Structure 1
Amino acid sequence: MKVIIFGATGMLGQGVLRECLADDRVRAVLTVGRSPTGRAHGKLREIVHADLLDLAPVEAELAGFDACFFCLGVSSAGMEEESYRRITYDFTLSAGTTLARLNPGSTFVYVSGAGTDAQGRRMWARVKGMTENALLALPFEAYMLRPGYIQPMYGATSRTPFYRLAYVVARPFYPVLRRLLPSAVTTTEQIGRAMIAIADHGAPKRVLGAADINAL
């Protein structure tokens, strides 16, 4: 299969890219983002594009793909709703509507979050929920991943210094968390493998939590 990854320079995207490059089912990977990944591989190609709200200049390079793994996201901490919505909803739907038109019937896997609720009281949960609903209405096979705690693996790192430190501190406790809360924790490796499995043969439901991700 041929896949597109948005957000491949973030912590989760780094992990997903690693799994795609390592999996024989994936024969070509295209990353799209505002900065290069710094990776080199025989089946990897990159598009560095500054304006993710306007993909028209690179549309010709986005056709002919089987799946999109959308890993781009940002923490809502300290953000106004308008700014958070621009990144979370507008960027995602810009990619989603473009790819649904260019690759109808393809698979689109979106990384949402545990607690997402379009009618919820928390701003981030509402915006994520609106994004999920909009994607599910598009003419492709859309799947929403709602992981809880994500443990970075194989050198994947957050670009936010505070989160980098938090993950270093939490790493020794991950095996305990996994045993105590198996339905609430996962890893970048498991998410990447789950995405490939979904693109390869689908999943039993369209909205998947951490336990579903780990099972896949």
Structure 2
Amino acid sequence: MKIKAIITGATGMVGEGVLHEALNRSEVESVLVIGRKPCGVVHPKLQEIIHSDFYDISPILNQLSGHNACYFCLGVSSVGMKEAEYFKLTHTLTLNFAEKLSSVNPAMTFCYISGASTDSTEQGRSMWARVKGKTENDLTKLPFKAVYNFRPAFMLPTKGLKNTLPYYKYISWMYPVGRRLFPNYFSTLAELGQAMINTSIRGYAKQILEVEDILVMSKSTNKDSIQ
């Protein structure tokens, strides 16, 4: 199966890392990056659309058909935000984008970057976890071929990429220790990217992929679907 992917958030650390993996996978035939500003990457597989309003992608919708995977890596930190603002930037933006995308790509697999400890019940005390949980839940109701919600925790950045968050240079030392002691909470950004690509190609038994699932799918080489 050849993948024609759409990627959002490519100017952030996670999106850039997923883009890097996609461009280096033979199964990925083409990548369309949608962003508010150029991602700064040049590659024969890569095309780019600059679009400022992710709440309304109607003006570019005719350019988005014919793709069979979306790696939605756009997101913001909840630090310092009120719930209404975070809800708009996380749930409203994502669902508006995804609803329109599903209307022109019903055969698409949609992969959403969520986070460890997301609250699927939408009832917990943590504001960000409730909002992420509702976003996950509502995405799964859309008429895509499949929706997968990825919940990474600590991720080791990919060396050489330019959008790594600055604080990682102070905490990267934790990775080898954490990986040994708490393997279900530590992964690399490269493993996340590989897991998203493999899941969009072969499927997975669960719609929610915790770190342990991400690690399984990052190493998946079986040509048969993992259902």
- Offset of residue 121 of structure 1: 1.0
Decide whether the 8 Å contact of 1:70 with 1:110 is kept in 2.
yes
- Offset of residue 35 of structure 1: 1.1
User: Separation in 2 of the partners of 1:205 and 1:157?
Assistant: 33
Residue 68 in structure 1 maps to residue 70 in structure 2:
yes
Mind listing any 5+ residue stretches in structure 2 that lack a counterpart?
218-227
Mind listing any 5+ residue stretches in structure 1 that lack a counterpart?
none
The residue number in structure 2 matching 1:145 is 150
The superposition leaves residues 70-112 of structure 1 with CA deviations (integer Å, 9 ceiling, x where unpaired) of 0001110001112111111111112210111111031000010
AA partner of residue 134 (structure 1):
D
User: Separation in 1 of the partners of 2:161 and 2:211?
Assistant: 19
Decide whether the 8 Å contact of 1:12 with 1:156 is kept in 2.
no
The superposition leaves residues 26-70 of structure 1 with CA deviations (integer Å, 9 ceiling, x where unpaired) of 010001111110000001001110000010110011100010000
Matches within 5 A, 1:37-186: 37-117=39-119, 118-140=122-144, 141-156=146-161, 158=163, 163-164=165-166, 166-186=167-187
Matches within 5 A, 1:188-203: 188-203=189-204
Runs of 4+ in structure 1 deviating by more than 2 angstroms, as ranges, are 154-159
The TM-score, its normalising length taken from structure 1, stands at 0.95
User: Separation in 2 of the partners of 1:151 and 1:120?
Assistant: 28
Question: Which has the larger share of helix?
Answer: 1
The superposition leaves residues 138-175 of structure 1 with CA deviations (integer Å, 9 ceiling, x where unpaired) of 1110000011111111234557xxx41x2101112211
| SS of corresponding position for 2:190 | helix
User: Separation in 1 of the partners of 2:84 and 2:53?
Assistant: 17
**Same amino acid, percent of matched pairs:** 47
| SS of corresponding position for 1:101 | helix
> CA distance change for structure 1 residues 146 and 102 in 2, over 3 Å: closer, same or farther?
same
Instruction: Say what the alpha-carbon RMSD is for the aligned residues.
Output: 1.1
